[in-house]
Amino acid sequence: MSIPSPDNPEPEYTATELVRLIRERGGRVHRYRAVQVFVLTNSEELQRWLTGDEIGGKLFTAPNDSTPPGSYQRARDSKPEWDVVITNAKVGGDIWEAAA
């Protein structure tokens, strides 16, 4: 059990709350058997929130010349999408279990 402190603040969300919020905002939450959790989304706002300091997610795409940066397209002329790894998201509880 960790004790909240200025260097280790208590998370704002539980894992279950984060998964619910992502799904409400149109994100698709998936998990690997190897205890990895990721989100696929075509919402740049959701991607920025997940990769910001509050949540701490990381983009999983290779650097490319995409616009917007870090995005990819599933098909020619489709909306940009982002693949965001949230395995180490700053949440209370087990994100892998919450993603089930």
Q: What is the pLDDT of residue 8?
A: 67
State both tokens at 67. Answer: 């616009």
Q: Which residues of the chain have pLDDT under 70?
A: 1-8, 62-66
In a domain, 89, yes or no: yes
Q: What is the pLDDT of residue 37?
A: 94
In a domain, 8, yes or no: no
Q: What is the pLDDT of residue 10?
A: 80
Is residue 99 within 8 A of residue 30, CB to CB? The reply is: yes
In a domain, 6, yes or no: no
Work out how many domains the chain is built from and give that number. 1
In a domain, 68, yes or no: yes
Q: What is the pLDDT of residue 20?
A: 97
In a domain, 7, yes or no: no
Is residue 59 within 8 A of residue 71, CB to CB? The reply is: no
Measure the CA–CA gap between 38 and 22, rounded to whole angstroms: 11
Q: What pairs with residue 31 in β-bridges?
A: 37
- In this structure, the strands spanning 28-31 and 82-85 are unpaired
State both tokens at 59. Answer: 């983009």
Count the residues in the chain. 100
